[in-house]
Structure 1
Amino acid sequence: MFLTRFRVNTARSGARRLLSSPQAMHAAVMSSFPTLLPTDTPPSEGPRVLWRLDHTTRAEVMLYVVSPDRPDLTHLVEQAGWPAAAAADPAEPGWQSRPYGPLLDRLTAGDKWAFRLTANPVHHARRKDDEPTKRTAHLTPVHQMGWLLKRQETCGFRILEKADDRRLLPSGTTRTKQPHPGDRYEVTVRDKRVLAFDKSRSTAAQGGRRAPVSLVTVTFDGRLEITDPQLLRRALTQGIGKAKAYGCGLLTLAPVGTAR
């Protein structure tokens, strides 16, 4: 397994095209692996290619990729990086890849880490009793946080709780009549994005364009404690939630107190 970081040159037209289309970015990421095609069906079990865009500032966007094999991002450097700088220094190709195994191997129950996750929080609901359920996005931070909290146990971690003196209310909630995460936990929900784009079929013989795709994504930043290292390794290598092909599901860890 490898963790790769690539800084996107937002001043380039190729970068703007990729940033405006999760489908185009997915194809570019998958093209980094000679043995894979962008249309390959990901494995149902085991490690898969995951990616995420971190918009650290308006002008700085970082692409992170977790993958079973080491990627070659030469085409991304040419489209959306600094190709002249990369050509001038062969030791710096324009991206950084490092083995992911050492981090996965050192995960231990009880250890605490800072984390970041961009996800597509959804649930299944029906408007009427006689209608089938439909996948629906969670739209409020409260429900989005609740979506993540429900997945703690199966993903091998628990999100840390704030000390009482750091909560806005003694109970850490903003409601009294029903459970509510409020500001109880060491996690923030930010950077909500509503993405809408056409999903094109690979060939004209397949019928042209499919129905438009609409996604709601948010980014979670917080602190967690490992409860089950094996389950957490699976979450780190297989992703969390839906829409993994569109930049969702990649959970990354960093020592507490450091930037991700």
Structure 2
Amino acid sequence: MHLTRFRINTHRVGARKLLSSPQVMHAAVMSSFAEVLPSDSNGPRVLWRVDRNDKAEVFLYIVSPVKPDLTHMVEQAGWPSTGTWQTYDYAPFLSRLSKGDTWQFRLTANPVHSIRRTPSEPTKVTAHVTPRHQIGWLLKRQESAGFRVVEKSEEQRRLPEGDEYELIVRDRRNSAFHKSGSARSGGRQGGGERRKPVSLTTATFDGRLEVTDPEALRRTLTAGLGRGKAYGCGLMTLAPGR
């Protein structure tokens, strides 16, 4: 597995086009590989995420089974003369994960749940839209994903309720786009034919976790968490904790 980071030049028209649509970014990411890679499996696959740290500091992260070639993205949305990307071998880091380790983490996800207004109705997938419900979505999945979000001590909590965890939700977004049927984006229809509109609600989680099941966490880091993985959701990254 490989972890790649690419800084996007937000002043370029091509960059604004990529950032305007998860479908367009997905197609660009998948075009970084000479062969068609898995994008709809439960195992290691191509995951990506856009981090908007500042208006002029936007990064694209990619986790993939093979190294990507982002030359086309540098030409379209980078600095062709001086810019490049960095790709790291992810396997040594993944192999060192141990139970009890603590890490800072970031995850952009598509928090959803299934609802039914009447017993006779089929269930409908609906997005969680409030931070409280989005945090609840993540907490329900932490055990099976191989980690637990670290709880704050009583002294650290600023509120009597809703401030129990070292976790914040930020950069919540709603987007709508048409899913392309092109082969490179995993569709079955050719010629870039459009399908029905797709609505996507995303939230970015920043927090601190403790590893509870290293093998399960490795699966989470390489296979993603939740839905919408083709559209920039599900990629969790770790950094040294305090």
Report the TM-score, using the length of structure 1 for normalisation: 0.87
Instruction: Give the equivalent residue in structure 2 for 1:90.
Output: none
Q: Structure 2 matches for 1:51-200, cutoff 5 A?
A: 51-86=48-83, 94-169=84-159, 172-173=160-161, 182-200=162-180
**Structure 2 residue matching 1:84: 3-state secondary structure:** coil
Pair 17,207 (structure 1): closer, same or farther in 2 beyond 3 Å: closer
**Structure 2 residue matching 1:55: 3-state secondary structure:** strand
Q: Report the Cα offset of residue 58 of structure 1.
A: 1.3
Count residues in correspondence: 237
Pair 204,156 (structure 1): closer, same or farther in 2 beyond 3 Å: closer
Q: Report the Cα offset of residue 211 of structure 1.
A: 1.2
Q: Report the Cα offset of residue 204 of structure 1.
A: 6.9
Instruction: Give the equivalent residue in structure 1 for 2:185.
Output: none
Among 45, 58, 73, the residue aligned to 1:48:
45
Pair 207,20 (structure 1): closer, same or farther in 2 beyond 3 Å: closer
Q: Percent identity?
A: 64
Is 1:240 aligned to residue 225 of structure 2?
A: yes
CA deviation digits over 1:56-88, x for unaligned, max 9?
0012110000011011100000000000124xx
**Structure 2 residue matching 1:151: 3-state secondary structure:** helix
CA deviation digits over 1:183-233, x for unaligned, max 9?
000100111000111113238779942111001000000000000000000
**Structure 2 residue matching 1:165: 3-state secondary structure:** helix
Instruction: Give the equivalent residue in structure 1 for 2:26.
Output: 26
Instruction: Give the equivalent residue in structure 1 for 2:200.
Output: 215
Q: Gaps (5+ residues) in structure 2?
A: 183-187
Q: Gaps (5+ residues) in structure 1?
A: 87-93, 174-181
Q: State which structure, 1 or 2, has the greater radius of gyration over its C-alpha atoms.
A: 1
**Structure 2 residue matching 1:211: 3-state secondary structure:** strand
Pair 115,204 (structure 1): closer, same or farther in 2 beyond 3 Å: closer
Larger strand share, 1 or 2: 2
Q: Report the Cα offset of residue 107 of structure 1.
A: 0.2
What amino acid does structure 2 have at the position aligned with 1:20? S
- Please, which moves more after superposition, 69-78 or 200-209? 200-209
Instruction: Write the distance in 2 (CA, Å) between the matches of 1:196 and 1:8.
Output: 22
- Please, which moves more after superposition, 155-164 or 41-50? 41-50
**Structure 2 residue matching 1:152: 3-state secondary structure:** helix
Instruction: Write the distance in 2 (CA, Å) between the matches of 1:194 and 1:42.
Output: 22
Structure 1 runs (4+) greater than 6 angstroms displaced: 203-207
**Structure 2 residue matching 1:150: 3-state secondary structure:** helix
CA-atom RMSD, angstroms? 1.6
